[in-house]
Chain A
Amino acid sequence: MSKKIFIDFKRCIGCRACEVACEMEHGEARIRVFEFPDLTTIPFNCRHCEKAPCLEVCPTGALYRDQDGAVAFDPLKCIGCLMCAVACPFGVPKIDEVNKIMDKCDLCSERRAEGKLPACVSSCPTEALKFGEINEVLWDREGSFVSRLKEARERGEKEPIYLL
Chain B
Amino acid sequence: MEELVPVVCPWCSVGCRLYIVSVNGHPRKIEWDYDHPNTPNRGKLCPKGVASYQFTISPDRLKKPLIKRNGKFEEVSWEEAIRYVAQKFKEIIEENGPEALAFLGSERCSLEDNYVLQKLARALGTNNVEFAGRLCQSSNFVARSKVFGSPAQTNPFDDIVKSKVILVWGYNPAETNPVLFGQYFEKALDNGAKMIVVDPIKTKTAKFADIHLQPYPGTDLAVALAMLNHIIKNELYDKKFVEERTDNFEELAKSVEEYTPEWAEKVSGVPAEMIKRAAELLATGGNATIVLNEGVNQHANGTMTALAIANLIAITGNIGKEGVFSGVIPGAHCGLCAAVPGVNCAQLPGPVPLNEENAKKFSELWGFEVPREPGLHYQAIFKAMAEGKVKGIFIMGQNPARSLANSSLIEEALEKAFVVVSDIFPTETTKFADVILPAASWYEKTGTVITQNRRVMRSFRAIKPPGEAKPDWEILVMLARELGVGEYFNYSSVDDILREINRAIPALKGATPERLNSNLEGCFYPCPDEESETPRLFLKGFPTKTGRAQLTPVKWVQPGEVPDEEYPLWLTNFRQVGHFHTGTMSMRSKSLIKRWPESFLMINPEDAKALGIRDGDRVRVETRRGSLVVRAMVTDRIRKGVVAMPWHWGVNFLTKDDAIDEFSKMPELKAVACRVTKEVVE
Residues of A within 8 A of B (CB): 11, 13-17, 19-21, 23-25, 37-39, 41, 116-117, 122-128, 144, 148, 151
Question: B residues within 8 A CB of A20?
Answer: 47, 50-51, 591-592, 595
Q: Name the prevailing secondary structure of the B interface residues.
A: mixed
The minimal Cβ–Cβ distance linking B96 to chain A, given in whole angstroms, is 50
Let me know if B595 and A125 touch, CB within 8 A: no
Let me know if A126 and B637 touch, CB within 8 A: no
Give the complex CA separation of A14 and B41 in angstroms. 18
In the A-B complex, list the 10 residue pairs whose CB atoms are closest, starting with the nearest: A126-B182, A125-B182, A20-B47, A122-B32, A13-B174, A125-B179, A15-B178, A125-B178, A17-B47, A125-B44
Tell which of A16, A17, A117, A151 has the most Cβ of chain B within 10 Å: A17
Residue in A39, A116, A126 whose CB lies within 8 Å of B207: A39
Q: Please name the residue on chain A nearest to B30 by beta carbon.
A: A24
Given contacts A15-B175, A20-B591, A20-B592, contact A125 B51 (CB under 8 A): no
> What are 13 sample pairs from A and B whose C-beta atoms fall under 8 A apart?
A13-B175, A15-B46, A17-B50, A20-B50, A21-B45, A24-B50, A25-B29, A37-B636, A39-B637, A116-B31, A125-B41, A125-B45, A144-B190
Question: A residues within 8 A CB of B202?
Answer: 39
Let me know if B595 and A17 touch, CB within 8 A: no
Question: B residues within 8 A CB of A116?
Answer: 31
Tell which of B30, B34, B175, B183 has the most Cβ of chain A within 10 Å: B30
Asked if B43 lies at the interface with its beta carbon under 8 angstroms from chain A, I say yes
Give the complex CA separation of A128 and B182 in angstroms. 9
Give the complex CA separation of A117 and B34 in angstroms. 10
Asked if B181 lies at the interface with its beta carbon under 8 angstroms from chain A, I say yes
Residues of B within 8 A of A (CB): 29-32, 34, 41, 43-47, 49-51, 174-175, 178-179, 181-183, 186, 190, 192, 202, 204, 207, 577-578, 591-592, 595, 635-637
Question: A residues within 8 A CB of B204?
Answer: 13-14, 39, 41
Q: Please name the residue on chain A nearest to B206 by beta carbon.
A: A39
The minimal Cβ–Cβ distance linking A10 to chain B, given in whole angstroms, is 9
Tell which of A126, A144, A148 has the most Cβ of chain B within 10 Å: A126
Question: A residues within 8 A CB of B174?
Answer: 13, 15
Give the complex CA separation of A112 and B248 in angstroms. 61
The minimal Cβ–Cβ distance linking B12 to chain A, given in whole angstroms, is 12
Let me know if A16 and B182 touch, CB within 8 A: no
Give the complex CA separation of A124 and B591 in angstroms. 16
Let me know if A17 and B637 touch, CB within 8 A: no
Let me know if A16 and B577 touch, CB within 8 A: yes
Let me know if A13 and B178 touch, CB within 8 A: yes
Given contacts A37-B636, A125-B178, A125-B183, contact A24 B29 (CB under 8 A): yes
Give the complex CA separation of A116 and B35 in angstroms. 12
Question: B residues within 8 A CB of A11?
Answer: 182, 186
Let me know if B32 and A15 touch, CB within 8 A: no
Let me know if B50 and A21 touch, CB within 8 A: yes
Let me know if A125 and B46 touch, CB within 8 A: yes
Residue in B50, B181, B578 whose CB lies within 8 Å of A123: B50
Q: Please name the residue on chain B nearest to A127 by beta carbon.
A: B182
Question: A residues within 8 A CB of B34?
Answer: 122
Let me know if B45 and A17 touch, CB within 8 A: yes
Question: B residues within 8 A CB of A127?
Answer: 44, 182, 186
- 15 additional contacts (CB under 8 A) given A17-B46, A122-B44: A11-B182, A16-B577, A16-B595, A20-B591, A21-B47, A41-B204, A117-B32, A122-B43, A125-B46, A125-B178, A126-B181, A126-B183, A127-B182, A127-B186, A148-B192
Question: A residues within 8 A CB of B207?
Answer: 39
The minimal Cβ–Cβ distance linking A137 to chain B, given in whole angstroms, is 15
Let me know if B47 and A126 touch, CB within 8 A: no
Question: A residues within 8 A CB of B591?
Answer: 20, 23-24
Give the complex CA separation of A60 and B51 in angstroms. 36
Give the complex CA separation of A136 and B448 in angstroms. 40
Let me know if B32 and A125 touch, CB within 8 A: no
The minimal Cβ–Cβ distance linking A32 to chain B, given in whole angstroms, is 11
Given contacts A13-B174, A123-B45, A125-B45, contact A19 B182 (CB under 8 A): no
Question: A residues within 8 A CB of B636?
Answer: 37-38
Give the complex CA separation of A13 and B176 in angstroms. 11
Let me know if B190 and A37 touch, CB within 8 A: no
Residue in B47, B181, B637 whose CB lies within 8 Å of A16: B47
Question: B residues within 8 A CB of A151?
Answer: 192
Give the complex CA separation of A2 and B294 in angstroms. 46
Give the complex CA separation of A123 and B636 in angstroms. 30
Give the complex CA separation of A15 and B34 in angstroms. 20
Question: A residues within 8 A CB of B44?
Answer: 122-125, 127
Q: Please name the residue on chain B nearest to A151 by beta carbon.
A: B192
Let me know if A123 and B32 touch, CB within 8 A: yes
Give the complex CA separation of A11 and B44 in angstroms. 14
Let me know if B182 and A124 touch, CB within 8 A: yes
Let me know if A16 and B186 touch, CB within 8 A: no
Give the complex CA separation of A125 and B43 in angstroms. 9
Give the complex CA separation of A16 and B591 in angstroms. 10
